[in-house]
Every structure is written in structure tokens, then in C-alpha cells.
Structure 1
Amino acid sequence: MRLIIERKEVKISPDSTRVIAKFFFNGEERAVQLIKQVMELSKEEIFKLISPILQDFSKRHRNITQKLEKHCKKVEHQIRLAGYDPEKLDEYSRLLLGSYFTHEYSIESAAFFNPSIVEDIDQSNLERGQLRVIISFRAVGEGHVSSVVFRRALIDRYNNITVLPAGKYVDEAEKIRNGVYQKRLFIRKAQDEGINKDFLKAVDERLGDEFDYPQLKAIIIEKKAETTDARTLKQYNLILALSDSYRNITFSKDTDISDRVIFPISDLESKGIEDARFVKFTLDNGSCVYYATYTAFDGQYIMPKLLKTSDFYHFKTSPLHGKGAQNKNLALFPRKINGKYVMLSRVDGYNNYIMYSDSIHNWENPILIQQPKLPFEFVQLGNCGSPIETKDGWLIMTHAVGPMRRYSIGASLLDLHNPEIEIGRLSEPLIIPNTEEREGYVPNVVYSCGSIIHNGELIIPYGLSDYSSSFATVNLELLFDRLKNGEQ
């Protein structure tokens, strides 16, 4: 029988009304001048200005007063430079000042694509054959800044997909806490890596037994200004990048999952959090946790990172280390194999590799397992999300690039016990951008960051030319028949 791909009618497009209230700062000199101008206003003038602002923007943001107060607090230093005591400002003055240091940012005004899909934690109150899922997307706004957003969806017994409407508000994390470092352990590891001794001496003398990233950053910036040695500067930049990668992120319990946006929060992520590949990971004790590999981008450098959550309210970010943790396209297997964590990667940019590790954060010795060998994948080959375990082997969804830089989605099958062995690969793509899918932010691209199996079918959420997203399904039995026989 012919392998038929069913494209679903569901389409999720970017919504420019989805906005967050971001801190806005246009330099210290301008900030001080602005604060002086505001503080010269009478109390009556301040109230007349802030009152309609609160009425207007409270319709667009949950607890707008809290956000304005927070942004006012961020400029307390400049308030003092302007000659005022921030502790003595009345409520309306603080709110008005906060409004001048706030701007709205539309998180998905440009694009909403590259989805991954995992089984929802909550599977209660469902009918037979239904499955509740969480879908992550890469949302892109002004300046091509990427963030991670979520939607909840319901799949019925016929694999019809209903994406639940997004909530009214969009919220960044309620709390963002920097990683705290133990000085003794930090210095020992830095010594093992051959880090500059002068820098380590400054850390030892000036920082306490525990310290956080901003404290470390201040010393690094100072030391960078004292040297022109390229190797030393590179070391300092590496320390900054790695140290800035640990965060604990907490969202308010009164937010819907569609309200939560993981927006860039570190220097290394300043230009985006790209292509999160979520996977439901089974631990040694049988319990589950959710991981996502993603790419942090600062406009020049990329760094693979790991996101961890058990409830989608609390997230922890950390860097991925090692020679195998390079480039994009890292995807974690959903469980250990032979006692080791296992990861797919594309360290050289165009071949697929596999890696094994005792630590989920350290990846060395990538092993080549797949190379482009078919015309539609001659340019490069990569994964489209974490492998899916089946009785027949590990199902790997792949993306391939061919003539005219056209991206397509394919599939291959790896041995269940030794995933270095490729059992089969489709000779033709499963999904090629059709006439309706080829136009967008980046033309001629279909791309996915994770699929799921349900009711005998493979369900593939995928991005349409880096602009919007949709879904496709394929019969699993027929797919495996083709994979095992090397046919389309």
C-alpha cells in the first residue's frame, strides 16, 4: 500500500496581539534627565497621566501595576542620580516612572513555528482514545528574537487535533534566580580547565564562599579591560557564557500554560532561544521529567543548553559541555541505554552523530551514524526531535536540505539496543513543502522539533516556512514497513 501523509487543516499562525511588558532603558544620561522631568510634575499632573495608562494597559497585561513597580525599581540608581530618594516616592510617581521605562513587545509578531510535542502531565477526565498534549513553539518577534511558548491540545480517537485557545495574557517568569556557585568547587574546576591564575586569584580574594553570576561578571569585565591577549580574552568569554547559563525560572500558579513565555534572560541568549526539543524522559526509578535541548544565541555565538521541568511552572536551565555539545540539533533519547544518557547531535553541521554519557551535561566522543546519501539530503541531514521508542527500534524523524535549499522531513529507524546501527531510511521525504506551505519568513522549509505516536499513527507537528505551524499524520504500520524494506 502507498504511504499516505494526511495534512491536518489545523494551522497556528503568529498573533501580534500577544504582548509582554518589557523593561525599556535608553541610556543612563537620558534616564536621569527623564526622571527629573517627571518629578517636576505636580501630584495632580502625575495622577492625570498615570490613571488612563493603568486603565488602558490593565486590559492587556495581568497586574500591570506590579510590572511598572518592578521597572521603577530597576532605575533606583538613576533616581538617586537625579537627586531623589526612591524610598520616599509616592505610589503614583513610582508607577508613572515605571511606565516611562516600559515598552510592549509582541513575542510572536513575526513567526510561530518549529513545534515539539509531548504527552501532558494531566491525562484526567478523557474519553477512550483521547490524549492531552503540550506543544512548544519557537515564537519570533521584533529584531528576530526567539522565545519558547506553549499551547495545550487534545487529540481524539481519530487523531483529530484541537489546539486550545491561548489565554488573554502573556507572562514572563515571576521569579528568575541566578545559579549560586560554591567558590571552592568553582576554583577547582577552573584550575582543571587551565583558566588564568590571575583571574582565579581575584575570585578567591574578592568573592565570598558563595557567589552568583552578576558578582562574577563584574570581575571578568574588569579583568578583560586589563588584557589584549586573545587566548585570555577567549577564556574570559567562555567563563561568562558558561556561568550565565544557570537559571531557575518560576511562573505564577495562576497562569495558563499558553500564558507562559520563556524569553531570553541571559547575555548569551540575548538574540534568542531557538528550537527547543522537548522529551518526556524516564528516570532510573521509573518516574518522569521533561527535558528540552535548545540553542542559545547572542547574535554571534551559539551554545547548546538544557531545560528541565517536572510541571511546566518551574524550569531550570544549564549549559551542555563537551566536544559533542557543539552546533545546533542536539536531541536527547527518552531514557538511558545500557546505563548511559544518549544524545543525537550534528557537530559538523551536516551529518548525524550519536553520543553516550554518564552525565546529562557533558558530551564527548560523537560517533558518526548518518550521512547525506540521497539527493534530497545532499546539503545536510539533521534530526527533527528526540527519538521515539517503538518495539521495532528507535524512530528518528530527520530534516534534510536539498536543491534550492529546500527543507523536507524524512524518517529513519535505529536499532533498539545499539542505536549506532541504522535499520532503514526512507528513500524519499515524508513531507515536502507544498504550494500552500512554501511561502513564509524563510521559503521552502518544513521543520519539526518533535513528534508523537497515538492511535496507530505518527503525529508530526511542523513549521511552515518558518512562519506558522500545522500537523500531519502517517500510518505507523505502513511507515515501518517502508523503513524496514528501504522503500517509500
Structure 2
Amino acid sequence: MNPKIKRKKIKILGDPGRVIAQRHLPGNPDRIKRVIARVLSMPEDAAEHLLEQVILDFAERHRDIGQIFRRHLKLVEEHLPPDPQLSETRQQLLGSFFTKEYSIESAALFNPSIVPHPDQSGLRPGDLRFIISLRATGEGHISSIVFRSGVLSATNLFALDPVSDYVETPTLILNPDYDRHLFELKLNEMDACNETTCWVLNQLPDWFTYNALKEKLDEFRREQGTLNPRQIETLSHIDWLAHSNYETSFPAEYPLSERVIFPVSKNESSGIEDARFVRFTEDDGEVIYYATYTAYNGFNILPQLIETRDFVTFNVSTLNGNAVHNKGMALFPHRIDGRYVMLSRQDGENNRIMFSDHLHFWQESEIIQEPTRSWEFIQVGNCGSPLETDAGWLVLTHGVGPMRQYSIGAMLLDRDHPEKIIARLEEPLLTPHEEEREGYVPNVVYTCGAIIHNKELVIPYAMSDIHSGIATVAVDDLLGCMRPLG
């Protein structure tokens, strides 16, 4: 017997008209100089006419396109002729040639997670304001994180807020301070500790800034002259690690749906994948939102951690330790017996659990679930952070079966000893319907996190890696259909 799950009519679809403005540097410096020369050779009236057309075509798609053009012109300043006397028209026009639009949702909008909004003011009794994070994918299959918000009513009617026509990327700030000890530990995990890293780190204090690190890297290059391949690789590792820890911030007045966390560091240059957000409560009652995600650079993946309190400022840092491998890290919403707890899937096949005294370091994991049912013979994994109930920790899982079909299942973990499964569904909770089977990756339903509201489990879920929907099921019905494990 399986619980009665209801699919809502609402669909969360990508909009190809939601674009960000990116720098566009066509080719090598010589080519950039040729582009500049062509623009500067235009008669002033022709330049004015062309800029007017560019503004007409693109200004309404961005909040301040003039500022964007000025910012991108600065990227090529070194290639301008000496002491150029550029009119405002010529500056704006030059900037437009080094700007391009990127449609963040043009290919897909999927793998959602849902958490309570930090602002619950002004609601009717029983209502809940929520935030959904989604993986947006555009040209070149580059993924980013976007957000939607809305309200669940007391009867779990689902209302999404209007989506802004604009999309904005944040201001990037590299970590103002780095802990030298933690930095060295991570380099050691990367097998990058040698005489080069010793020289650089020994020149730095216990806490150092990125600028201080950059100065020491430059100093090492000057002292060594010609670097050997190992030294070049080591310096690249150091710089790569520094750029993996950063802060991004949006103007607070921008609507949530305008904010996009787009890849900025080298380790995530090919995408930010499958963020699993969780509302985390510390022992003293402080609330922090964390999200684990997978950074991808086209060759390797790296688990990362996002921290935010307001969804305006986001701190991004690396997860460290021998147990931090593969995808699918999902943090429990509070400590258990004083320790952080996280689900994981290091081997790509089994569900595992990890405990740690330090949020950023995870050294050991143990298997708690292996594939045992035909719909999960290929692999099992989590589908987001566990949800606390009186009966135990409710965990949505995914299983992969014949024809690489992904289904969503569920299991229940002991509240005090979450390494112990106490019950589970024998059959999938959600499998792809006929209309959900077609997409970028066929035959997949998947979620990165659900929420419990008014005794119902609310599951935003992806359909074949192309768009997303919502399903609900009564928690008591779900738990009543699980088979106890003793």
C-alpha cells in the first residue's frame, strides 16, 4: 500500500527572456585592439545612431545598461590607444561591443529545494512564506542558482510571487580573511603541500587577506624566475583554492527572483549544480540557511557550502575532509548530540551518513542504505535535508532502476541515532508520469529538498531535468505506509 500523493497543476517553467549581461572578450589582445580600432574609426554621427539603436533594443532588459557598458569597457582599458579622448557616446558604444547576454533559464529550470522564508511577517494565521531555489541551465549547459518565492496557505494552496523581468548577478568579494591552518589542511587534501606551499604560507600570518596572498605569490614568481611545471601547478592550486572561498551580495531592494548566483570561481566555471538548502537552527536558537552544492569545472566536481541569513549576502566556502567526495551532501537542520550531521553519497551508489564537530570538515562516513529494491538497483541517494517529525527523521531518497529511470522514495531515521533506519517505503513515492518523461534527461523525477506544512509534505520536484512541479502527501499517510525495520 502506498500513500496518496497529489500533483499540483502549477508548473515552474524557465523563461529564455531572463538574461544577464556578461563580459564578451572576442579572442586574443590583438583582436580586441582591432575591434576597438574599428569602433573608434566610425564617424561620430554613425556612432551616436548605432548606440541609440543598441539602447533601444537592450535597455529595457537590464536595470542600468549604461553602468554595464562602463564596467565592461574597463576590462579592455589597457588595449585602448594612449590618452584616448572618448566621448560618452564612444565609451558606451565600446562597452557594448564587449558585452553579451546570457539566458540563464533557456535550457532548463529544475532540481528545486524549498525552505521557509526568513521573513514571515504580514501573513494570515496558518500561512507560510517560502523560498524555492532552482538549478537554472542555459547555453553550454552552465548551471546557476535562481530563486522563487511565494506563500502556502493554511490549506496548502500554493501561490507563487510574480517573477521579475530583470536578473541581476551579485557583487563579488573574495574572502577578507583566510585561516592559514585551514588553508594548509585543504591544500594537503589536494596533494598540493610541498616546498612551494611551505614558502608561501610561511610568509603569511595566521589570518591573511587575498591581497596579502597574491603579493606572496607574485614575490615567489619574481624570486624563482623561471618556474618548473610542479611550481606552476602548485601556485595554480593555491590561487584556485583562494578563489573557491568568496562572498556575494545583492542590493537588498532587488526582488528575490532577480538574484542569480552564477559561477564566478574557477572550480565552478562549468556550473553550480543541485543546491540543497536547509534552515539550520543552532543550539542557541540562531537561524542560518546553509546549502550544499556541487561545483563543476568541466573536469572535476567539488562540494561547496553556501551560508546566508537573509538571501541577500551569501558566503561560499569549500567543504573539506576525506569524506567530502562526489555529489549529494544534505545537512541535517540542527546538531544532534552536539555534532553536525550530513547525508552523503561518496561512492555514487549508497546512502551514507557523516558526523563532524566542524561544519567545514568531514573525515568519515558510513553506509546506512544500499540498493535493495528493483527501482533502485543502480543507485540510491538522498533528495535533500532530512525533515524532523515526532516519529523520526523523514528522508526523501532517489533510486535509479531499469532504463535509468529516477524515482523518489522515502525512509525514516531514528531521531537520536540517525545512522539507524527504522522504516521505509517499499515502493516509490513518485515516479515519472507519461507527461513527465520527456526532457533533457528523460524518465527522471528528482528533488533537492521538501518542507512540512500543516501536516503535509510539500515536494517541489524536477521533471526530466527540464522544468519543475509540486506534489503533496499527508505526513501521517506517508509514515503509515512505511514498513518498520527492526
- Shorter-chain TM band: over 0.9
2:83 aligned partner: 85
Q: Distance in 2 between matches of 1:471 and 1:210?
A: 44
Alpha-carbon distance between aligned partners in 2 of 1:304 and 1:66, rounded to the nearest angstrom: 34
Measure, in 1, the Cα distance between the counterparts of 2:221 and 2:157. 54
Distance, in Å, in 1 between the alignment partners of 2:188 and 2:142 is 36
**Could you tell me how far 1:42 is from its partner in structure 2?**
3.4
Decide whether the 8 Å contact of 1:183 with 1:210 is kept in 2. Answer: no
Cα pair 1:220 1:236 within 8 Å, conserved = no
311 and 202 in structure 1: CA distance in 2 versus 1, 3 angstrom threshold: closer
CA distance in 2, matches of 1:10, 1:354: 34
**What root-mean-square deviation, in Å, do the aligned CA atoms of Structure 1 and Structure 2 show?**
2.6
Alignment correspondent of 1:4: 4
How many angstroms does 1:236 deviate by? 5.2
User: Is the alpha carbon distance of 1:221 and 1:123 closer, same or farther for their aligned partners in structure 2, counting shifts above 3 Å?
Assistant: farther
CA contact (8 A) 1:202 1:219 kept: no
- 1:268-303 CA distances to partner (integer Å, 9 max, x unpaired)? 111100000000000121020100000000000000
The answer to whether the Cα contact below 8 Å between 2:412 and 2:421 also exists between their aligned partners in 1 is yes
2:221 and 2:368 map into 1 onto residues whose CA distance is 42
Deviations 1:411-435 (A, max 9, x none): 0000000001000111000000010
Name the residue aligned to 1:196: 194
| CA positional deviation for 1:191 | 8.7
* CA distance in structure 1 between the partners assigned to 2:287 and 2:56 by the alignment: 44
Per-residue CA deviation, residues 330-355 of structure 1 (Å, 9 max, x unaligned), is: 00110011111111110111111111
Aligned amino acid, residue 11 of structure 1: K
Question: Partner residue of 1:98?
Answer: 95
Which residue number in structure 2 is paired with residue 444 of structure 1? 443
Q: Which residue of 1 aligns with 2:53?
A: 52
> Which aligned pairs between 1:124-139 and structure 2 lie closer than 5 A?
124-139=121-136
Distance 1:403 1:167 in 2: 40
* Structure 1 partner of 2:175: 179
The answer as to 2:417 corresponding to 1:418 is: yes
Q: Distance in 2 between matches of 1:299 and 1:381?
A: 24
C-alpha separation in 1, matches of 2:117 and 2:284: 20
* Structure-2 change in CA distance of 1:470 and 1:89 (3 Å): same
Q: Which deviates further from its counterpart, 20-29 or 131-140?
A: 20-29
Q: Which amino acid aligns with 1:179?
A: N
CA drift at 1:358? 1.3
Q: 1:282 corresponds to which letter in structure 2?
A: T
Between the aligned partners of 1:21 and 1:216, the Cα distance in structure 2 is: 34
Tell me the equivalent position of 2:365: 366
Aligned mates of 2:221, 2:425 — CA distance in 1 = 51
Deviation at residue 318 of structure 1 after TM alignment:
0.2
Q: Which residue of 2 aligns with 1:73?
A: 74
Indicate the SS of the match to 1:59: helix
Matches within 5 A, 1:296-315: 296-315=295-314
Indicate the residue corresponding to 1:23 in structure 2. 23
Q: CA contact under 8 A between 1:187 and 1:200: conserved in structure 2?
A: no
Q: 1:221 to 1:5 in 2, by over 3 A?
A: farther
**Once structures 1 and 2 are overlaid, which stretch shifts more, 283-292 or 408-417?**
283-292
Unaligned 5+ runs, structure 1: none
Q: Report if aligned partners of 1:224, 1:233 keep a CA contact under 8 Å in 2.
A: no
Q: How far apart are the structure 2 equivalents of 1:225 and 1:302?
A: 31
Partner Cα distance (1:224, 1:136) in 2: 47
Contact 2:386–2:393 (CA<8 Å) still a contact in 1?
yes
Change (3 A) 1:403 1:477: same
Pick closer, same or farther for the CA change 1:196–1:314 going to 2, 3 Å. same
Equivalent residues of 1:423, 1:483 under 8 A apart: no
Secondary structure of the 1:72 match is: helix
Corresponding position of 1:461: 460
The secondary structure found in structure 1 opposite 2:251 is coil
Task: Report how far residue 130 of structure 1 moved.
Answer: 1.6
Aligned partners of 1:329, 1:221: CA distance in 2, in Å?
Answer: 39
Contact 2:217 2:235 in 1 (8 A): no
Inter-CA distance 115–33: structure 2 relative to 1 (3 Å threshold): same
Q: Does 1:116 align with 2:117?
A: no
**Partner of 1:436: helix, strand, or coil?**
helix
Distance 1:105 1:220 in 2: 38
Tell me, what secondary structure is at the counterpart of 1:137?
strand
Q: 1:211 to 1:128 in 2, by over 3 A?
A: closer
User: Relative to structure 1, is the Cα distance of residues 209 and 16 closer, same or farther in structure 2, using a 3 angstrom cutoff?
Assistant: closer
Mean Cα displacement is larger for which, 336-345 or 200-209? 200-209
Would the aligned equivalents of 2:210 and 2:242 in 1 still touch at CA under 8 Å? no
CA 1:85–1:367 in structure 2 vs 1: closer, same or farther (change >3 Å)? farther
Q: Is the counterpart of residue 13 in structure 1 residue 13 in structure 2?
A: yes
5+ unaligned residues in a row in structure 2: which ranges?
Answer: none
Contact 1:220 1:240 in 2 (8 A): no
**Quick one: percent identity of the two aligned structures?**
45
What secondary structure sits across from 2:60 in the alignment?
coil
Query: Quick one: structure 1 residues 234 and 33, their matched pair in 2 at CA, closer, same or farther if it must change by over 3 Å?
Result: closer
| Aligned positions, number | 479
Q: Which moves more between the two structures, 61-70 or 235-244?
A: 235-244
CA contact (8 A) 1:224 1:236 kept: no
Matched residue SS, 1:69: helix
Q: 1:367 to 1:218 in 2, by over 3 A?
A: farther
CA distance in 2, matches of 1:379, 1:403: 8
Shift of 1:454: 0.7
User: Offset at 1:235?
Assistant: 5.2
Letter in 2 for 1:54: I
Shift of 1:56: 2.3
CA distance in 1, matches of 2:218, 2:19: 32
Please report how far the alpha carbon of residue 481 of structure 1 lies from its aligned counterpart in structure 2 after TM superposition.
1.3
Please, what TM-score do these two structures have when normalized by structure 1? 0.92
Q: TM-score, normalised by structure 2?
A: 0.92
Q: Distance in 2 between matches of 1:280 and 1:362?
A: 20
Distance 1:451 1:144, change over 3 A: same
